[in-house]
Amino acid sequence: MIRRHCVLAALAITAVSLAGASHAAFAADKVCKLEIAGNDQMQYDKKELVVASDCTQVELTLSHTGKLPAAAMGHNWVLVKTADVTAVANAGMAAGLANNYLTTGDPHVIASTKIVGGGQSTTITFPTSKLTKGGDYTYMCTFPGHYVIMKGTFKFG
């Protein structure tokens, strides 16, 4: 009987320790929120977005402050390494609006929103584990022709 109580006590202590460890790992997550807007003049309202190195996830909200529909002047937000901007944008044109002007499964795309039209918004969350501190990143809109002027610098860490 005493042995059974000792075993049960040991199991209870182990369970509490494991629960505390997973809770500590969950509590260590830091979600950093960013907001950016695009308009009917093919402009984002920010030229640079910065995420601190202690952020484990990024929650980004894209708002379209214009009036034109997605088919005419849609915007998305796509994060890539700067070296991949042109390739991702060019490949996206062939993908079409139904695919948010992105090639399905493109490994160069780190994070992306759907295309939104005037008055709409969308939110995504992505892990910073996909990023390197101090890496060279660019965000852009891949609606055909927009990426040339509708882009900015993304800094992590």
Q: How high is the pLDDT of residue 157?
A: 95
Q: How high is the pLDDT of residue 8?
A: 40
Q: Exposed, middle or buried: residue 81 (CB in 10 Å: 0-12, 13-18, 19+)?
A: middle
**Phi and psi at residue 40, to the nearest 5°:** -75, -5
Domain locations along the chain = 31-156
Q: How high is the pLDDT of residue 13?
A: 41
Tens place of pLDDT for every residue, the chain, 157 residues?
Answer: 454 444 444 434 444 444 444 444 455 799 999 999 999 999 999 999 999 999 999 999 999 999 999 999 999 999 999 999 999 999 999 999 999 999 999 999 999 999 999 999 999 999 999 999 999 999 999 999 999 999 999 999 9
Q: What is the distance between the alpha carbons of residues 51 and 61, in angstroms, rounded to a whole number?
A: 14
Q: What is the distance between the alpha carbons of residues 74 and 65, in angstroms, rounded to a whole number?
A: 11
The domain made up of 31-156 has a fold known as Immunoglobulin-like (2.60.40)
- pTM more than 0.75: yes
Q: How high is the pLDDT of residue 19?
A: 44
